[in-house]
Chains A and B, each alone.
Chain A
Amino acid sequence: MKNRLKILRAERDWSQAGLADRLKVSRQSVNAIETGKYDPSLPLAFRIADLFALPIEEIFLRD
């Protein structure tokens, strides 16, 4: 699964640590999601979608 997390974060000029704080996860988790090493759980995906005020399918895309 691909995602647009890095682009969305860059648009808001947030660091990985800043995004991690907002999502209440570790910076390593954010990095792992951005690099495609880890697909977030559904609750975390919803938190990400809520934070960026976008539907999940606009953030996470099928390969």
Chain B
Amino acid sequence: MTASGSPGICRRFCRLFKPDRMFGFILIVGMGLLAVSIFDPNEVRVGTVTPVVKIIGAALLVLLISYIATYAAALDRRKLEDYFFQMMANGAIVAIITAIFANMVWLVFETQLGTMSADNLVAILITAWGFGYFFYRFRGLNT
């Protein structure tokens, strides 16, 4: 008897992770985190702006900056060679994943390291982007 043609559990599970679903999930998680940070009851803010206005403002700001970043990336793609654009894009993926994991590790050691500031996160992102770029520059995009 030969094995049946039906895919295994692992393969079926992997098929669930399609890019559209993954990024839909990431988008929802991101928006949720944004809303939670705005509604954080522990943080004292001075001002009369209501939370709903803050959420709408934050959502519009994120949309605007995302649109500008998307346009800038499209411009980069047109102006840069494909080789350099691919290295930049791969480096950016390294930077994003590094920033997420660095934030998680930082949270674990928060008592020793203190609270991670936005400046810390930006510094990690930029450093990891540069590292990622040169990693692919020396190692190559194919291997």
Contacts and interface: CB of A to CB of B under 8 A. Distances in A.
Interface in A18-34: 25-26, 28-29, 32
B82 A40 contact: yes
A26 B81 contact: yes
B142 A37 contact: yes
Contacts, number: 35
Interface of A: 1, 25-26, 28-29, 32, 35-41, 44
**Most chain A CB neighbours (cut-off 10 Å) among B83, B86, B142, B143:** B83
Taking residues whose C-beta sits less than 8 angstroms from the other chain, chain B's interface range is 10 to 19
Interface string B68-106: 000000000000011110100000000000000000000
Contacts of B84: 26, 28-29
A35 to B, nearest CB: 7
A25 B83 contact: yes
B140 interface: yes
A36 B142 CA distance: 7
B141 interface: yes
A3 B84 CA distance: 20
A41 B82 contact: yes
B134 to A, nearest CB: 13
A39 B82 CA distance: 10
A26 B143 CA distance: 21
**Most chain A CB neighbours (cut-off 10 Å) among B81, B140, B141, B142:** B81
Contacts of A28: 83-84
B81 A39 contact: no
A32 B83 CA distance: 8
A26 B140 contact: no
B143 A38 contact: no
